[in-house]
Amino acid sequence: MRILVACEYSGVVRDAFLKEGHYALSCDLFPCDSPNSGDHFQGDVTEILDHDWDLMIAHPPCTHLAVSGAKFFAQKKASGIQDKALDFVRLLLDAPIEKIALENPISIISTRIRKPDQIVQPWWFGHMEQKSTCLWLKNLPLLTKTNDVKEEMMLLPKNKRERMFYLPPSPDRWKIRSQTFQGLADAMAKQWT
């Protein structure tokens, strides 16, 4: 299969598909953090959306969409930034690609475009953390759990199991929070091909 991983600088999802033997290309405005940077297009994803992809997994920036930033919604809406972010989500969901998965945290996509098809957690895939991840799917099945560690995770203190929420301010906080958990990436690569 030919897989496009849109808005991914880390290479985590792309590399999971490469490991399964598929052609996969990540695309982001930022350079790739992974050693497989040859499989990365640094640029605007709209330039390559029509390149005969079988599957696209898209991770549009959540900065202006996630409910974690709800206190800023009024000014984001007034400035037009939020509508621009939603237009980009619509563009990705309407791309001329047979199979599409769009990933984002709990966000206004649910009320302004449509509800997600599925909400997954890292603990479904072996990571002892909570972080709701919404999936909007086109011609793809729901993901199934591969290594449910919820029971064990719930024994951890709240700040450990909700590590992403409790990350201290730093220049790289947004990068750490936006990276896909490896277990989720592996499940996508195994279950969607």
Confidence of residue 9 (pLDDT cuts 50, 70, 90): very high
Burial 5-35 (b: 16+ CB within 10 A, else e): bbbbbbbbbbbbbbebebebbbbbeeebbbe
Q: What's the CATH number where 181 sits? A: 3.40.50
Nearest Cα to Cα of residue 133 among 124, 33, 100, 85: 124
Separation between Cα atoms, residue 54 and residue 69, nearest integer Å: 34
Radius of gyration of the chain (CA): 16
Q: What is the pTM of this model?
A: 0.92
Separation between Cα atoms, residue 192 and residue 56, nearest integer Å: 11
- So what's the pLDDT on residue 70? 67
* pLDDT, tens digit (0-9, with 9 covering 90-100), for 56-99: 999 999 887 887 776 667 777 778 889 999 999 999 999 999 99
Number of domains into which the chain is organized: 1
Nearest Cα to Cα of residue 63 among 184, 181, 180, 173: 173
Q: What value does the mean pLDDT of the chain take?
A: 92
Domain residues for the domain of 107 are: 2-191
Q: Is the pLDDT of residue 109 over 80?
A: yes
